[in-house]
C-alpha cells in the first residue's frame, strides 16, 4: 500500500500489517497518519490485507448501479474515519471483482463481512448505519 506524505509528496510503501498504525515518511520523517478512509481493493490487495491485518477488517461488497450501496457509502466512510487505527475498511466492487464476491458466496448487495485473522467473524446483507457496523467491528476485535 502507498501513502503519500503530506509534507514533501514522497510516496511511502506501507506493509498491510501496518496500515492501522502511524508511520513516518522515509524522506522527510514527517508523520504519516493512519488509514482513515475506505480502501477500494482488487483481489490481490484484498488477500494481502486480510492475511496480514493486525486489526479487524470490515469489507463492503457493493456495485455502482446499486442504490442501497450508494446510500451505504457515506456510512462506510464515517465508520472508517471513526475506527481509524482500530480497524480497516475495504470496499470491493462486485462488478470488477466477481470472483471475490463468489468466494464469500455474496448473493445480495450491499453485503458486509468482518474478518479477523483471515476468518469471517460476522456477515450481514443489507443497509446498515455506521454505528451498527462499528458494533460488528468491536465484536470482531474480541473474536481474536
* pLDDT tens per residue, range 99-139: 999 999 999 999 999 999 899 999 999 999 999 999 999 88
- Candidate list 5, 8, 28, 66, residue with the active-site label: 66
Look up 66 and say whether it is catalytic: yes
Confidence of residue 140 (pLDDT cuts 50, 70, 90): confident
Look up 8 and say whether it is catalytic: no
Task: Give, in words, the CATH class of 39-142.
Answer: alpha beta
- Residue 56 cell numbers, joined: 479487524
Q: Residues 69, 112, 35, 12: is their CA dihedral positive or negative?
A: negative
- Residue 108 cell numbers, joined: 445480495
Rounded CA-CA distance 97/94 in Å is 5
% of the chain at pLDDT higher than 90: 87
pTM: predicted TM-score of the whole model, two decimal places: 0.91
Amino acid at each position: 500500500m502507498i501513502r503519500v506524505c503530506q509534507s514533501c509528496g514522497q510516496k511511502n510503501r506501507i506493509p498491510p500489517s501496518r496500515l492501522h498504525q502511524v508511520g513516518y515518511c522515509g524522506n522527510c520523517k514527517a508523520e504519516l497518519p493512519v488509514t482513515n478512509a475506505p480502501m477500494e481493493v482488487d483481489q490481490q490487495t484484498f488477500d494481502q490485507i486480510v492475511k496480514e491485518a493486525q486489526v479487524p477488517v470490515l469489507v463492503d461488497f457493493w456495485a455502482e448501479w446499486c442504490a442501497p450501496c450508494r446510500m451505504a457509502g457515506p456510512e462506510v466512510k464515517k465508520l472508517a474515519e471513526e475506527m481509524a487505527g482500530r480497524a480497516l475498511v475495504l470496499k470491493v466492487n462486485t462488478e470488477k471483482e466477481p470472483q471475490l464476491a463468489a468466494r464469500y458466496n455474496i448473493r445480495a448487495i450491499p453485503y458486509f463481512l468482518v474478518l479477523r485473522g483471515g476468518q469471517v467473524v460476522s456477515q450481514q446483507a443489507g443497509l446498515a448505519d455506521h454505528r451498527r457496523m462499528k458494533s460488528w467491528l468491536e465484536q470482531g476485535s474480541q473474536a481474536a
